[in-house]
């Protein structure tokens, strides 16, 4: 034991010597005290070796604590190794520091609408990269050729209607009325009325009574010479300034028309964008055709303009594309010349879109249609002359309707239009759709209805019903021309593969829709949300008007007036045929209900005065016990 103790003492001496070398800066009094403690500990080591190691650890902790106390004084109340954080004093509120906290309203640099436009383009490109092709190019071409498309035109007085049929089913409808003329595509020289920097919008007078709105995202800053400067609408437009604008959306409800200063002129095969630099080709065209058209466009399109190739350009030759570009370029030069010649400050029309009939034939009619049936002399002259001018190879597909029977009745178009105006749509298997249009969005609810399935379980029945609903929903969107935000509530499906199947079927059917659309992801509640570009009025608005009684709400609210008679507010029961029953009658929502003769009014006015005399005139009836309160008739008589 003594050898072990001496070895430990030697080790202690080495350790103490090492620590003393590191602590040369300590005072002599501390070193003497440590030596006395070491000697005392060595004397105590002879009593037992078990407690020597604990004493050495205590000595090291005391030395470490003394050195830390010399370096930084610590409060006696705080335990060892306590971290004390001192909060910085709160800064004074200044305008520069506002909007930086988590609870403050944040702002962005530059234009909010331009930033939103960039985000939408960025998200669209990312979604396009991640998008898996739904069907192959060969399947798309095969399906497009398998569908028989027919266009039917009927002119009846001032109204012209155009229906597009796919396999004898009405999928699109266009109507032209004098009281609802569309302004989309018209180019005006407008006058700025006022500019709202906080809304990043300007209100322009185009001579249509109600001011149209021009947002900052639609301002052509390059044409105004502000390509390198800050893109703020208040610095680009001033009140009273004349500006060249084009209508992109018709006024809807209380909303004015939407404008853009980036003019685009549509043609037969492409859309000409003056002062543009980008060239786009329709995604509905095959890749081989896109490559061919891209090579031709490099030769025919000028450097100071851009173009967007339409679907109708498939198979078009270089000469046809060149003629289209030259014609649209001449239109743009004519618009510029008119804008410089106008001396008055009032708004004026520089370019007007052609008639609805020519516009629909220009945008839709192509080689996919087997024939175009035209009823009406004026409509025939317009369509025949335009097709012979821009597409003479398609003139043989025009046919004139000469029968006395209505052409819409022959193709059952009127019957399908009547069903499209209803709120409820029946599916072929017995299910149904309920379509409601609100101020914010269009909501579509899918129901099984009378469809109970043909064997299998509930999941198969629901999935088959949803597949039928997906096809019919796309048809109703095109036929009713519904736009904005669309939310679809399909019947809940358990398997994810079935949900993907329904969504894929819907995307396949949307491939035939030429209106710009975008399908978002399915929400956590199982709702499919999508957006569809809204340009003009829908089908329901074209054939209806707002009710003057309910103002389009669908109900009439009747506030029940309190009676002047006493009795604690309780009504007295009247006999059969009395006037009391008439007080509970429901009010019908009809126009005739508002037109009442003055005689019933006088009778109703005299009724309250006759109420006190009524009980005296009636004979007093004997007491009749209520048998329901007793167990038997005998007990009731007793």
Comparing 23 with 328, the larger pLDDT belongs to 328
Q: Is the pTM of this model over 0.85?
A: no
Q: How far apart are CA 208 and CA 250, in angstroms?
A: 11
Q: Give the whole-number percent of the chain exceeding pLDDT 70.
A: 70
Neighbours of 196 (CB within 10 A): 12
**pLDDT band at 75; cut points 50, 70, 90:** low
Q: What integer pLDDT is reported at residue 66 of this predicted model?
A: 57
pLDDT tens-place string over residues 5-45: 544 445 444 444 444 444 444 445 555 555 555 555 555 54
Tell me whether residue 361 is exposed, middle or buried, using C-beta atoms within 10 angstroms of its C-beta: 0 to 12, 13 to 18, 19 or more: buried
Q: How far apart are CA 499 and CA 505, in angstroms?
A: 10
pLDDT tens-place string over residues 282-320: 877 888 888 999 999 999 998 888 999 988 888 888 998
431 near 447, Cβ under 8 Å? yes
Task: Supply 564's token pair.
Answer: 């002047």
3-state secondary structure of 330: helix
Task: Supply 468's token pair.
Answer: 């039928």
Residues 350-359: what's their mean pLDDT? 91
Comparing 392 with 563, the larger pLDDT belongs to 392
**pLDDT band at 73; cut points 50, 70, 90:** low
420 near 480, Cβ under 8 Å? yes
Q: How far apart are CA 354 and CA 361, in angstroms?
A: 11
Q: What integer pLDDT is reported at residue 23 of this predicted model?
A: 47
Comparing 289 with 454, the larger pLDDT belongs to 289
Quick check: 371 pLDDT over 90?
yes
Q: Which CA distances in Å does 121 have to 114, 115, 127, 311, 428?
A: 11, 10, 10, 22, 39
Residues 57-76: what's their mean pLDDT? 61
Q: How far apart are CA 137 and CA 206, in angstroms?
A: 45
Average pLDDT, the chain: 78
Quick check: 331 pLDDT over 60?
yes
Phi, psi (deg, nearest 5) at residue 267 = -125, -165
DSSP secondary structure string for all residues of 433-459 = EEEEE-SSEEEEEEE-TT---SSS-HH
Q: What integer pLDDT is reported at residue 25 of this predicted model?
A: 44
Number of H helices, E strands in the chain: 18, 21
Q: Strands 270-274 and 305-309, how do they pair?
A: antiparallel
Place of tokens 């103002």: 551
Quick check: 607 pLDDT over 70?
no
Phi, psi (deg, nearest 5) at residue 279 = -125, 120
527 near 466, Cβ under 8 Å? no
Q: What integer pLDDT is reported at residue 114 of this predicted model?
A: 75
Q: How far apart are CA 597 and CA 595, in angstroms?
A: 7
DSSP H helices, 82-220, are 112-130, 137-146
213 near 145, Cβ under 8 Å? no
**pLDDT band at 232; cut points 50, 70, 90:** confident
Place of tokens 């007491």: 623
Highest mean pLDDT among 299-303, 431-435, 503-507 belongs to 431-435
Residues 343-356: what's their mean pLDDT? 86
Q: What integer pLDDT is reported at residue 140 of this predicted model?
A: 58
Tell me whether residue 124 is exposed, middle or buried, using C-beta atoms within 10 angstroms of its C-beta: 0 to 12, 13 to 18, 19 or more: exposed
Quick check: 595 pLDDT over 70?
no
**pLDDT band at 130; cut points 50, 70, 90:** low
pLDDT tens-place string over residues 401-424: 999 999 999 999 999 999 999 999
**pLDDT band at 596; cut points 50, 70, 90:** very low
**pLDDT band at 445; cut points 50, 70, 90:** very high
Q: Give the whole-number percent of the chain exceeding pLDDT 90.
A: 35
Structure letter (DSSP) for residue 254: T
Structure letter (DSSP) for residue 392: G
Quick check: 172 pLDDT over 90?
yes
Portions of the chain given CATH number 3.30.420.60? 142-179+356-410
Across 164-191, b (16+ Cβ under 10 Å) vs e yields bbbeeebbbbbbbeeeeebbebbbbbbb
**pLDDT band at 118; cut points 50, 70, 90:** confident
CATH H-level, domain 142-179+356-410: superfamily: eRF1 domain 2 (3.30.420.60)
439 near 186, Cβ under 8 Å? no
Q: What integer pLDDT is reported at residue 235 of this predicted model?
A: 87
Q: What integer pLDDT is reported at residue 541 of this predicted model?
A: 84
DSSP secondary structure string for all residues of 2-58 = HHHHHHHHHHHHHHHHHHHHHTTTS-HHHHHHHHHHHHHHHHHHTT-STTHHHHHHH
**Half-sphere exposure of 417 toward its Cβ, with a 13 Å CA cutoff?**
22
Q: How far apart are CA 145 and CA 387, in angstroms?
A: 22
Neighbours of 472 (CB within 10 A): 20
Quick check: 321 pLDDT over 70?
yes
Q: What integer pLDDT is reported at residue 86 of this predicted model?
A: 74
Structure letter (DSSP) for residue 470: H
Highest mean pLDDT among 228-242, 320-334, 449-463 belongs to 320-334
3-state secondary structure of 587: coil
């Amino acid at each position: 034991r003594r050898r072990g103790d001496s070895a430990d003492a030697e080790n202690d001496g080495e350790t103490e010597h090492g620590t003393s070398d590191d602590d040369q800066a300590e005072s002599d009094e501390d070193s003497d005290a440590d030596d006395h403690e070491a000697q005392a500990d060595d004397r105590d080591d002879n009593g037992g070796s078990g407690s020597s190691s604990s004493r050495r650890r205590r000595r090291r902790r005391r030395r470490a604590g003394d050195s830390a106390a010399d370096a930084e004084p610590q409060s006696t109340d705080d335990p060892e190794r306590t971290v004390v954080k001192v909060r910085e004093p709160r800064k004074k509120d200044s305008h520069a520091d506002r909007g930086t906290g988590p609870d403050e309203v944040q702002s962005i640099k530059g234009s909010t609408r331009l930033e939103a436009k960039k985000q939408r383009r960025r998200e669209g490109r990312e979604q396009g990269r991640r998008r898996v092709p739904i069907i192959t190019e060969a399947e798309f071409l095969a399906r497009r050729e398998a569908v028989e498309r027919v266009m039917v035109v009927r002119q009846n007085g001032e109204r012209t209607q155009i229906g597009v049929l796919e396999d004898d089913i009405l999928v699109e409808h266009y109507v032209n009325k004098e009281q609802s003329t569309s302004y989309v595509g018209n180019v005006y020289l407008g006058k700025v009325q006022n500019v709202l920097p906080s809304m990043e919008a300007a209100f322009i007078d185009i001579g249509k009574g109600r001011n149209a709105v021009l947002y900052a995202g639609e301002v052509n800053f390059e044409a105004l010479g502000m390509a390198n400067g800050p893109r703020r609408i208040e610095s680009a437009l001033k009140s009273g300034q004349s500006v060249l604008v084009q209508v992109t959306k018709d006024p809807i409800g209380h909303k004015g028309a939407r404008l853009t200063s980036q003019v685009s002129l549509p043609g037969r095969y492409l859309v000409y964008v003056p002062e543009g630099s980008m060239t786009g080709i329709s995604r509905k065209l095959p890749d081989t055709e896109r490559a061919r058209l891209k090579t031709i466009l490099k030769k025919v399109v000028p450097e100071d303009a851009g173009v967007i190739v339409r679907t109708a350009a498939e198979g078009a030759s270089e000469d046809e594309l060149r003629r289209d570009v030259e014609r649209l370029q001449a239109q743009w030069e004519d618009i510029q010349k008119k804008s410089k010649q106008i001396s008055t400050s009032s708004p004026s029309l520089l370019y007007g879109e052609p008639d609805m009939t020519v516009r629909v034939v220009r945008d839709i009619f192509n080689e996919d249609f087997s024939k175009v049936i035209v009823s009406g002399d004026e409509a025939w002259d317009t369509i025949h002359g335009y097709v012979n001018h821009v597409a003479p190879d398609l003139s043989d597909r025009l046919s004139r309707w000469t029968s006395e029977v209505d052409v819409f009745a022959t193709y059952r178009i009127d019957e399908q239009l009547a069903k499209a105006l209803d709120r409820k749509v029946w599916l072929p298997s017995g299910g149904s759709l309920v379509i409601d249009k609100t101020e914010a969005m269009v909501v579509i609810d899918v129901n099984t209805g009378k469809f109970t399935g043909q064997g299998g379980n509930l999941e198969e029945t629901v999935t088959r019903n949803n597949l039928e609903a997906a096809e019919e929903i796309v048809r109703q969107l095109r036929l009713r021309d519904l736009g904005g935000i669309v939310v679809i509530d399909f019947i809940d499906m358990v398997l994810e593969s079935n949900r993907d199947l329904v969504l894929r079927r819907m995307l396949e059917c949307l491939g035939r829709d030429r209106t710009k659309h975008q399908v978002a992801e399915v929400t956590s509640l199982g709702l499919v949300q999508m957006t569809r570009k809204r340009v003009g009025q829908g089908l329901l608005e074209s054939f209806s008007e707002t009710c003057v009684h309910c103002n389009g709400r669908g109900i009439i609210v009747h506030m029940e007036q309190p009676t002047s008679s006493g009795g604690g507010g309780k009504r007295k029961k009247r006999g059969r045929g009395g006037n009391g029953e008439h007080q509970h009658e429901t009010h019908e929502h009809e126009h005739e209900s508002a037109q009442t003769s003055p005689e019933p009014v006088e009778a109703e006015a005299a009724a309250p005065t006759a109420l006190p005399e009524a009980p005296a005139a009636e004979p007093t009836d004997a007491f009749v016990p209520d048998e329901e309160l007793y167990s038997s008739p005998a007990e009731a008589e007793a």
